[in-house]
Amino acid sequence: MWSVKALTRLDHRVIIVLVCLMSISLVVISSYSVPDSLNPGEEPFFTPMVRVQLQWFLMGWVVFILSACFDYNRLREWTWLLYLLVLGSLVGLFFTDAIQRVNRWYRIPLIHISFQPSEYAKIGVVWTLSWFLERRRNIASSWSTCFFSVLIVGIPFFLILKQPDLGTALVLLPMSFVMLYFGGVRPSIVKGMAFFGGMLLILVASLFSGLLPYETLRPYATHILKEYQFERLNPATPHQKAAATAIGLGGWSGVGWRQSSYSGRGWLPYPYTDSVFPAFGEEFGLMGLFFLMGLYYCLIHFGFQVTAVAKDSFGQLLSAGVTVYLAMHILVNIGMMSGLLPITGVPLLLISYGGSSILSTMLALGILQNIYSQRFMF
C-alpha cells in the first residue's frame, strides 16, 4: 500500500518547479505584509504571514509525499465513501455561521484555522468520475453513463454554486469535459457540452475585451440573470481597473521588490491572495509574469505527460482530470486579473496566501506523481 521506493521514481522536474513557485509566493507575501509601524530598512523577510505560509508549504510537502507514496489503486473500493464525505462537507456548510457573508469555510476552534471543503471537493469529483468511467468503459457511450456522469459532477457543482463560489464551481465544467472525452462518453454529448461552454466563454471574453458593450447586453441578460448576478460581469469594476493599473505600472522589468507605490499602498485589493498576479507584475514586470507563466506551463505539461504514460485507464482519467483542474485554476485567476474574465475569487495555485488551496494542490500533484511512479509497473 505504502511504498517509499516510489519517491525514487518521481519526476524531479516537478520538484524544481514547485520550489520556484513557493519561493515566488514567499517573496510576494513578504513584500505586501510588512507592518506599517516599521521604519524603512527594518522590514524583515519572514513577516508573520510569511511564516504562516511557510508552515502551510511544509504541511503541503508532507501531503505531497504521502499521496505520492500511496498506491492510488488501493483507494478504488472507498470511492463512494469519499464522494459521500465530499457531499456531506459541502451540505454541512449551510448549517454553520457565514464567514465574510458566504458559506465557504469551516472555522476550526482552538487552532483558529479555516477549512474550505470545495477545494478538496474538486479532487473528490475527479476521483469519483474516473472510477465510474473506468467501470463503465464497455458501455461508455450509453445514455445511462452520460446521465450518471453528469449527476456525479452536477450535485457538488450546484452545492458549491450555492455557497456562492462561482469560480470554484466553473472549474468543474472543463475538467468534466476532458474526462468525459477520455472516458469515451457519447461524442455528440461531449461536443455539445464543449460547444455550449466555448460559446459562453467567447461571450464573456467579448464582454470583458470591449467587443460587446456591457450596457447593450443588460436588457437581454437580465431576463436570464438577476441584477446582482449580471453586475459580476461588469468589466469596469474598481478591482478590475486596479489589477490592470498594477500590471501596467510594472512595465517590462517592474518597479522592484518592495518598491510598489500602488499595490503596496492598498490601492489593489487582496494583493497577496486573489490579486497576487498583478501585485507580482507591478514589482517584477512582464519579465517576471512571463517567467511565472513559464513555470505553470511546465507544471501542466508534466501533468499531461503523466496522462500519456499512465499504466491503466483509471490512472489516465485521474491524471487528465487533475491536470485540467490545475490548469483551469491558473487560467481563471490570470484571466480575471488580466481583465478577460469576471473576478470570482479563485486563488493562484501555490502563490496566493492560504492553506486550503496549498494542501489541495499538493495533494493533487502528489496523486499525479503517484500515477507517474507506477507507469512501468504491471
Q: Predicted confidence band at 303 (pLDDT cuts at 50, 70, 90)? A: very high
CA angle 160, 164, 166 (to 5 degrees): 75
> Which residues are within 8 A (CB) of 246 and not within 5 positions of it... i.e. 6 or more apart?
260, 262, 263, 267, 268, 275, 278, 279, 281, 282
Q: Predicted confidence band at 225 (pLDDT cuts at 50, 70, 90)? A: low
pLDDT at position 1 is: 59
pTM of the model as a whole: 0.89
Measure the CA–CA gap between 317 and 133, rounded to whole angstroms: 8
Measure the CA–CA gap between 13 and 1, rounded to whole angstroms: 25
How big is the chain, counted in residues? 378
Report CA-CA distances (Å) from 376 to 6, 107, 310, 311, 372: 12, 43, 9, 7, 9
CA angle 341, 124, 171 (to 5 degrees): 10
pLDDT at position 120 is: 86
Identify which has the larger pLDDT, 164 or 302. 302
pLDDT at position 377 is: 54
Instruction: Extract the C-alpha cell encoding 33.
Output: 505584509
pLDDT at position 169 is: 74
- Is residue 378 predicted with pLDDT exceeding 50? no
Report CA-CA distances (Å) from 175 to 263, 269, 284: 33, 29, 32
pLDDT at position 245 is: 92
Measure the CA–CA gap between 64 and 41, rounded to whole angstroms: 37
- Among 108-112, 176-180, 360-364, which is the least confidently predicted range? 108-112
> What is the rounded average pLDDT of the residues 161-179?
79
User: Partners of 108 in the beta sheet?
Assistant: 113
Measure the CA–CA gap between 360 and 64, rounded to whole angstroms: 9
- Is residue 89 predicted with pLDDT exceeding 50? yes
- Is residue 336 predicted with pLDDT exceeding 80? yes
pLDDT at position 228 is: 62
R_g over Cα of the chain: 21
Q: Residue 28: how many CB atoms within 10 A of its CB?
A: 27
Measure the CA–CA gap between 327 and 109, rounded to whole angstroms: 33
Identify which has the larger pLDDT, 98 or 188. 188
For the chain, the average pLDDT equals: 84
- Among 46-55, 94-103, 122-131, 233-242, which is the least confidently predicted range? 94-103
Q: Residue 173: how many CB atoms within 10 A of its CB?
A: 17
> What is the rounded average pLDDT of the residues 24-46?
78
- C-beta separation of 230 from 222 below 8 A: yes
